[in-house]
Amino acid sequence: MLRLFSRERMWRRRDLQRQYDVVIIGAGIHGLAIAYYLCKRGIHRVAVLDRSYLGGGNSGRNTAILRSNYRTTEGIPFYDESLKMWENLSEELDYNLMFSQQGHITVAHTDASLAGLRVRASANQVLGVNSRLVDSGEIKKMVPAINVGKDVRYPIVGGLYHPPGGNIRHDAVVWGYARAADRMGASLHTRTEVIGINRQNGRVTGVRTTAGDIQTNTVVNATSGWCTTIARMAGVSLPVTSFPLQACVTEPLKPVLDKVIVSANLHVYVNQSDRGELVLGSEIDPYTSYSQRSTLPTLEMIASHTLDLFPCLRDVAVMRQWGGVCDMTPDYSPILGEAPQLKGFVLDVGWGTYGFKAGPVSGARIAELIHTGETPEVIRPFSPSRFAEDRLVGEKAAAAVST
């Protein structure tokens, strides 16, 4: 019989056990990906706990732009490994993630930012990442709707074109990893808040939750914007500050834009979704907060700068606006690995405004670290000890909208 849809549940509701090999706090892309890759390595006694719903944090709120045109020799191979994993992930998870490698253009409006993009293009090419400088004429050919004229305050002077960049359906990614992890035996628990971390003799022994205590030797902190609150429960101090980041979508339009357009100088980015909506985003709000609410000043900023790039959108209505909470580090790079102060307390945090794209590589490499006890080479530069050792990885290309 032809079955148009499946009545099978995407993931099961299992009873919370009192003991697990690994407890992961946070059911966003990072927590769920780690659970999935641990199961692939044969570690199945894994619980993922979230005080909200799956993907209720930044993973369900982000604009899901994927790229690897970073700037540092540490960042480029790391994000490129992820981009290559995205290319096969729909097939691997047996779930359509709607990945579209439509191409990504970062436009520059000043000579200084063009010089920065030139450095990135060279670093990308040396490390095998497809990206190159383009002039405003070529940008106009690829994106007919964009204004490359001189009649604006900051005319476009060129850009960095990264053909393999694009975007993906964020909630499909969360559901795909959740379903795959569940099928392999991981246990997913929503509405389960972690309220304490148990420790003895310098190592983790368990977590306290609103559903009771759980014993474990390994706890992963994958709570992005809230990571310092969990770290504090473990007596670990993180150099992370939480800032809101907002985005919005317009009413659906006929196809007008088939590239991701980012302006570092105007702090705005735009792409068109499969449904026709334009997805617009910007820089973090200029104050620390755990608020996920949207604000009028940010909307005004996004709208006015989008119109500098695309004056043709002036009559288009914005339909929805929202916010998430981003865990910003001083060097715009993540913090990955076991906390030096506490054995068994693993950090997968510091994802700021750019962590969704790193979900596959980070999930796989943190699972490898837990399984083998060895830090994989590609995440070694992002170790939690780098701050004390003065080895920061200044990844200014992490936030696409920063110059």
Ligand X SMILES: Cc1cc2nc3c(=O)[nH]c(=O)nc-3n(C[C@H](O)[C@H](O)[C@H](O)COP(=O)(O)OP(=O)(O)OC[C@H]3O[C@@H](n4cnc5c(N)ncnc54)[C@H](O)[C@@H]3O)c2cc1C
Binding interface with ligand X (CB under 6 A): 25-31, 49-52, 56-59, 61-65, 193-194, 222-226, 230, 245-247, 281, 324, 326, 351, 353-357
C-alpha span between 44 and 184 (Å, rounded): 7
Shortest CB 162 distance to ligand X, Å:
13
Q: Can you give 307-373 as a three-state secondary structure string?
A: HHHCHHHCCCCEEEEEEEEEEECCCCCCEEEECCCCECEEEEECCCCCCHHHHHHHHHHHHHHHHHC
Shortest CB 139 distance to ligand X, Å:
20
**52 vs 241 by CB, closer to ligand X:** 52
**26 vs 136 by CB, closer to ligand X:** 26
Of all residues in this chain, which one has the CB nearest to ligand X in the complex?
Answer: 28
Shortest CB 366 distance to ligand X, Å:
11
Angle, CA 117 vertex, CA 111 and CA 118 arms, to 5°: 85
CA distances from 348 to 80, 82, 191, 363 (A): 18, 15, 21, 9
**37 vs 136 by CB, closer to ligand X:** 37
Q: Which of 97, 59, 54 is nearest to 187 (CA)?
A: 54
* Helix, strand or coil, per DSSP, at residue 112: helix
Shortest CB 153 distance to ligand X, Å:
26
Query: Hey, what are 72's tokens?
Result: 């540092």
Q: Which of 177, 160, 166 is nearest to 63 (CA)?
A: 166
**71 vs 147 by CB, closer to ligand X:** 71
Shortest CB 53 distance to ligand X, Å:
8
Burial of 282 (0-12, 13-18, 19+ CB in 10 A): buried
Shortest CB 133 distance to ligand X, Å:
22
Shortest CB 54 distance to ligand X, Å:
8
Query: Hey, what are 275's tokens?
Result: 């449904």
C-alpha span between 233 and 230 (Å, rounded): 5
**148 vs 370 by CB, closer to ligand X:** 370
